[in-house]
């Protein structure tokens, strides 16, 4: 790295003849002079901090050793390289100087080539150090940006894929479709949404829908369930997939009850400009297949008759009620109280016995 010709060098010596010699040898740099230690410290701690200090050891008042001790004990000046100027040749003096933090020595009488070489060496080292610090600061800043982007990417992934699937993708680079023998599926739909959508400004409609579905997501997390997807005004969630849970039906029912309770509370406390919504919920339990669909815009999805029946439970249900299949009823009929809905003909499946959860659970 080239030496900055505007590098600032502070010469500290009580002998004017020594200062004259050094000023002549170091022409081209920005030079300042101090005739004693007190003046040297004042300049070093000033607004025009030097890049290098040539410091005489033997001076009246504060000697060079005390000056460097003070410089190296302060965060502001400890990084300034110091070259000692001395007429002494004893090893003990050099050892003491290096112990205090001196970068090098220049002996009197001065040898021009040696003086220039040692000054240039320290300035190059200092310039390299400054550049390294700049690059390191830039690296730290870039790492912060990368970490923030990684965190944002993880948050986006968590909105698309279940945690276990994300873990598999990161560790293995892929995830295999799996058959889950015991899981529960929930479908939720906003009643009369299409008709309402034609009367509400699009921005307002999306804001309200986002508010509601965000609350549903929070409830789903509480019950260790997974939101699979939203399609328009429909919301789909599962429990027992991809992390198996023997209480999948109980947990998903807990979430369903909280969904209804939230909508009921929201309808009773509408703010100005908000609209009243009602929802239908259907549930079914049984085996299903879960896996990633797509290659560019992929999603995690679930498939099978269990999913189709859950969808039919919702579409055959009633506003502000939870309708379940006989499969789900058999799993949680001892935990919750139901009333029989009767036989419902399910497309592509046939007749099925269904049940409504009693309204007493909706607080």
Q: Are 101 and 22 in a shared domain? A: yes
pLDDT at 136: 92
State the DSSP H helix or E strand holding residue 203, giving kind and residue range, or none if neither.
helix 202-222
- Residue 243 maps to a domain: yes
Asked if 126 and 117 count as a contact pair (C-beta separation under 8 A), the reply is no
- Residue 149 maps to a domain: no
Residues in the chain, pLDDT under 50: none
- Residue 20 structural domain: 8-135
- Residue 152 maps to a domain: no
Q: Is the pTM for the entire model greater than 0.75?
A: no
Q: Are 74 and 189 in a shared domain? A: no
22: Cα within 13 Å, side-chain hemisphere: 30
Cα dihedral sign for 105, 107, 110, 113? negative
Burial class (CB in 10 A: 0-12, 13-18, 19+), 150: exposed
Q: Are 33 and 123 in a shared domain? A: yes
pLDDT at 44: 93
Count of structural domains within the chain: 2
Of 86, 109, 135, at which residue does a domain stop? 135
Here the CATH number for the domain that contains residue 207 is 3.30.70.1230
pLDDT at 160: 65
pLDDT at 63: 92
pLDDT at 89: 60
**Cα gap 118→105, rounded to integer Å:** 8
pLDDT at 309: 95
Closest CA to 121 of 101, 105, 135: 105
pLDDT at 235: 96
- Residue 214 maps to a domain: yes
Q: Are 230 and 109 in a shared domain? A: no
Q: Are 123 and 180 in a shared domain? A: no
Q: Are 236 and 342 in a shared domain? A: yes
Tokens of 307: 């999913």
């Amino acid at each position: 790295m080239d030496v900055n010709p505007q590098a600032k060098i502070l010469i500290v010596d009580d002998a004017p003849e020594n200062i004259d010699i050094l000023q002549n040898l170091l022409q081209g740099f920005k030079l300042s002079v101090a005739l004693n230690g007190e003046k040297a410290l004042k300049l070093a701690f000033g607004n025009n901090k030097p890049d290098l200090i040539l410091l005489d050891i033997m001076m009246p008042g504060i000697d060079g050793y005390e000056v460097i001790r003070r410089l190296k004990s302060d965060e502001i000046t400890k990084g300034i390289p110091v070259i000692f100027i001395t007429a002494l040749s004893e090893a003990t003096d050099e050892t003491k100087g290096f112990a205090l933090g001196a970068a090098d020595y220049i002996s009197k009488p001065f040898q021009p080539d040696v003086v220039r070489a040692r000054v240039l060496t320290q300035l190059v080292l200092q310039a390299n150090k400054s550049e390294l610090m700049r690059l390191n600061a830039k690296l730290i800043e870039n790492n912060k940006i990368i970490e923030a982007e990684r965190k944002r990417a993880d948050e986006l992934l968590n909105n698309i894929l279940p945690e276990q699937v994300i873990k598999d993708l990161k560790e293995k680079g892929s995830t295999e479709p799996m058959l889950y023998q015991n899981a529960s599926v929930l479908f939720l739909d906003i009643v009369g949404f299409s008709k309402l959508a034609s009367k509400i400004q699009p921005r307002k409609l999306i804001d309200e829908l986002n508010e509601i579905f965000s609350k549903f997501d929070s409830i789903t997390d509480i019950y260790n369930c997974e939101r699979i997807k939203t399609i328009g005004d429909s919301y789909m969630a599962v429990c027992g997939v991809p992390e198996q849970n023997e209480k999948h039906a109980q947990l998903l029912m807990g979430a369903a009850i909280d969904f209804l309770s939230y909508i009921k509370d929201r309808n009773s406390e509408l703010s100005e400009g908000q609209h009243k919504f009602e929802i239908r919920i259907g549930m079914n339990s049984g085996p299903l297949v879960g896996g990633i669909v797509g290659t560019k815009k992929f999603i995690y999805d679930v498939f099978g008759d269990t999913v189709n029946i859950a969808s039919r439970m919702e579409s055959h249900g009633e506003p502000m009620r939870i309708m379940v299949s006989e499969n789900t009823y058999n799993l949680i009929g001892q935990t919750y109280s139901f009333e029989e809905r009767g036989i419902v003909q399910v497309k592509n499946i046939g007749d099925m016995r269904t049940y409504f959860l009693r309204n007493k659970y909706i607080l």
